[in-house]
Structure 1
Amino acid sequence: MHHSKAIIASLLLMGTTSAQAQLRPLGEPGWDFTLNLSLGYVTSENNFSTSDDNQTITEFGSPEHKTSSTIVYPLARVQYTTRDRRNQFYIGNSSEQISNAQFQYELGYTHQSPKLGEVTLAYFPQLPFLNSTWEDPYLLGAPRVETEENATGARIAWQQFLGTPLTVKYAYANIDVETENSGSSASLGLNEAQQQLLERDGNAHRLELETMFPFAKGWFLRPAIQSTYRDAKGEAIAFTDYTLKMGVLHFNAPHTFIMNFEGGQSETKEANPIFDKTIEQTQYSGFFIYDYAGIFGWKNASLNAIAGYTQSDANVDFYNSKGLITSVGMTYRF
C-alpha cells in the first residue's frame, strides 16, 4: 500500500524535447548545471504521515488530524553531454521523471540512437532523513515513534522503443524500515505470526508503457498504463497495483503547461490481521505544472509553479488519505 507517499515535485530541468515526434540531441556538449529553489505549502490527512500533529491516534478510523506545513527545498542537476550530443551523464533529478510529477535523486546515463530510440539507465541511492514512517503505525492512545524508511534501486526508460512511438519503463527498489514494530502493541493481541504479516521490508517492481502524440498545434497527449508489485516480507503488506495515466502537455514559448491525471486500484496479497480483510484501495491524483522561461529577461532563468492533489479511498477507513501541495520556485541554468 502507499502508506507514506511524498507529494513533493518541482518543474526542474523541464524541456520540450520529450514531446517531439523525433528525438532531438540531448543538449549542448560539455558541462551544464541547473539549480532550483522552491517554496511550498503541503496539507495532508493520512494516518501514516509522520507530522508531529499526527503522532497520537485514538482509533482505527479515517485520519483524525489534518496536518500542514511550509517547505523550502532546493533541487539540482549536474550533467555532461558528449561532443556528438548522443550520450549524457548526470547526477540529480531527471527531467523525464519530473515531467511525470515524480521526484527522486539519481545517478544516470542516457544514450540516444536515431534508429533505436533513447535509453536512460539510473541508480537512486539511499538518502537519509528524506523518508520516514512510524515504528508501529497501529499504536493507539500513545505517542508513536518515528523511524527511517529507506529505498535504494534502479530504473530503465526506453523512449521510442525500437523505433516505435512507445516508451517502456521498469523500476526496482529495495525498501528497508530501520525499526519495524508494526502490530507489536499488546492491546492488539497479535501473536508473532500475525505481526510478521505486517512487516514492511521488501522489494518493489514497477512496469509502465507510455506513448505521446500531438492533437493540436503545441498540444500533446501522453497516455500510460502502469503496474506495481510490492513484494514485502509481510504478505498483508504485499500488494499489486494497476494505474491508468493521462498527461496533457502544451508548449507555447516561453510558456510550458503540463497536467497529469492518474487513477488506480490496489489490493494486498493477504488479509490484514488487525482488520481481518485484505486492503483494497482506489487512488487518484492530479498535478498541474507551469514553467515560464526567460523571466525578468534572464535567458537562463525560469519561474515554475506546481499544484497537486492525491486521494485514496479504501475498504478500511484507516487507510483513507488526502494530500495537497502548492509551490512556486525559480530555476537557473549555469
Structure 2
Amino acid sequence: MRNPILLGLGLLVANAAHADLGAIPKESGWSGFLLGGVTASSHESNFYAGGDSKSRIDNLGSPESESELAPLINADIRYTFADTRTQVFLGNLIQDAVRFDFTQQFGIRQEMGDKGIVAGSLVFNVMPVELWSDPYATGVDRSSTDAKSKGVRFAWDKIWGSNFNGSITTREVELDEEHSGQQYDQRHGTSYAPVLNRNGKIHDMELSYQWHFGDGQVLEPAILYKQAKLDGSAESFKNTGLQLTYAKRGPQWSFVSNGYLGKRDYDEVNPLFGQRADANEMVLTGTFFWHSLLGIKDLTGVITASYNQADSDIDFYDTRTSALSTGLLYNF
C-alpha cells in the first residue's frame, strides 16, 4: 500500500537535536519528550481522504490541491535500568525520528558493551491513515476507510562498535473496507478489483552511517529498501532510496534537515491505466529548534518546513505535500 501523504508531518526530527542519538542514559529512571503544536499543509493525492479532501472526482486524472490544519502531537517515554544497560520504550525513538521514520513502537533495547545496542519492538500506527475505500470511483461521493498497520522490528545501533546502524521491519497493513476498482468492474464488466487490493505485508530494511564533526554536527547517509507484498499484484512494489540527514546542535538553537530520493517500481501493470505506476520520489525537510524557551530549561520551540512529491508514470498516482508545523517540545 502506498503511504500516500502526510506522514505525520512536523513530528519528524523534533528530538534529533536533543540527545546522543539513541544512547542509553547512565542513570536509572524515566526520560523522553512531549511535543504539541499544529500543522498546516497543502496536499495533492487521489488516495488520501483526510482533511477537507474532496470525496467526488469526475475522472482518473491528476489530483487536485487540498489543504488541512491538524494538531501536532507526539511523545517518547522511556525507562532505563542502568545496572543492566536495558531500556524499555514507548513512542517515537530519537534514532528513528532522525531517519524520518514516524513509526510508533513498544519494545526493549539492550546495550551490549562495545558491540552496540540491539532492540526488538512491536510497531504500529496510533492514528490510522484515512484513505478512500475505492479511490478509482468517479461521479459519486467516495467513502473513506481507515488503514492500520502492525508488525515487528529488529534494530542494531552502532553495529559491533562502529557508526553503522541497521534495522529490519515487517508489518501487516489492513484497510477496514477495501473496495479498489469495484465501481469500475461494475460499470465495465471487468474483474480488476483483486489485483488492486491494498491489504498485505510490507518489509523495510535500512542501513545508515553517522559521521560526527566538531561544533555538535552530525551527518548520516542511509540506504533504504522497501518491499510491499500486497494481495493486489498491481499494488505490490519495491522501493529503493537514499537519504541524507544533517544535524547541528548549539547551546541556544539547533537545526536538523533531511533529504530523500527514491524510486518505486510496481510488480505489474495497473489494468485501469494499462501501465505500471512506477514513480520517482523526493522529500525535503528542515526543523529549527530554539532552546530554553521563555527561560525554561527543558522547553524548546520547534518550527518545521517540509515538502514531498512522487511523480508517477500514471498521473492519477502523483502526490505532493508542503507543510509548515510549529509546536512546543518538553524534555524530561
In structure 1, distance between residues paired with 2:289 and 2:224: 26
Question: Residue 297 of structure 1: CA displacement?
Answer: 1.6
Q: Which runs of 5+ in 1 are unaligned?
A: none
Matched residue, 2:132: 134
Task: Encode CA deviations 1:25-52: one digit per residue, 9 max, x unaligned.
Answer: 4354212353211111011011112044
Question: Residue 12 of structure 1: CA displacement?
Answer: 4.2
- 8 A contact 1:188–1:274 mirrored in 2: no
Q: TM-score, normalized by length of structure 2?
A: 0.92
In structure 2, distance between residues paired with 1:243 and 1:143: 36
Q: Which moved more, 1:295-304 or 1:205-214?
A: 295-304
Matched residue, 1:325: 323
171 and 288 in structure 1: CA distance in 2 versus 1, 3 angstrom threshold? same
- 8 A contact 2:276–2:314 mirrored in 1: no
Question: Residue 104 of structure 1: CA displacement?
Answer: 2.8
Task: Please list, as runs of the form range in 1=range in 2, the aligned pairs for 1:180-329 lying within 5 A after superposition.
Answer: 180-186=178-184, 189=188, 191-192=190-191, 194-215=192-213, 217-329=215-327
Task: Encode CA deviations 1:196-234: one digit per residue, 9 max, x unaligned.
Answer: 100111000011110011355432221111110000011
Q: Which moved more, 1:111-120 or 1:28-37?
A: 28-37
Q: TM-score, normalized by length of structure 1?
A: 0.91
Matched residue, 1:171: 169
83 and 27 in structure 1: CA distance in 2 versus 1, 3 angstrom threshold? closer
Identity of aligned residues (%): 24
SS in structure 1 at match of 2:276: coil
| Count of residue pairs brought into register by the alignment | 327
Question: Residue 169 of structure 1: CA displacement?
Answer: 1.1
In structure 2, distance between residues paired with 1:228 and 1:206: 4
* Stretches of 4+ aligned residues off by more than 4 angstroms: none
- 8 A contact 1:249–1:258 mirrored in 2: yes
Matched residue, 2:116: 117
Matched residue, 2:20: 17
Matched residue, 1:61: 61
- 8 A contact 1:303–1:329 mirrored in 2: yes
75 and 44 in structure 1: CA distance in 2 versus 1, 3 angstrom threshold? same
Matched residue, 2:71: 72
SS in structure 1 at match of 2:117: strand
- 8 A contact 2:5–2:45 mirrored in 1: no
Task: Encode CA deviations 1:75-104: one digit per residue, 9 max, x unaligned.
Answer: 223221113372111112211122223223
In structure 2, distance between residues paired with 1:108 and 1:27: 19
Q: Which moved more, 1:97-106 or 1:36-45?
A: 97-106
In structure 1, distance between residues paired with 2:265 and 2:29: 47
259 and 159 in structure 1: CA distance in 2 versus 1, 3 angstrom threshold? same
The answer to whether 1:4 aligns with 2:32 is no
RMSD between aligned alpha carbons?
2.0
Task: Encode CA deviations 1:215-256: one digit per residue, 9 max, x unaligned.
Answer: 554322211111100000110000001011111111222322
73 and 130 in structure 1: CA distance in 2 versus 1, 3 angstrom threshold? farther
In structure 1, distance between residues paired with 2:301 and 2:27: 22
SS in structure 1 at match of 2:114: coil
- 8 A contact 1:183–1:190 mirrored in 2: no
Task: Encode CA deviations 1:253-311: one digit per residue, 9 max, x unaligned.
Answer: 23221110000111111111101112110000111122222212211211112111001
Q: Which runs of 5+ in 2 are unaligned?
A: none
- 8 A contact 2:215–2:250 mirrored in 1: no
The letter for the 1-side match of 2:6 is: A
In structure 2, distance between residues paired with 1:279 and 1:33: 40
SS in structure 2 at match of 1:191: coil
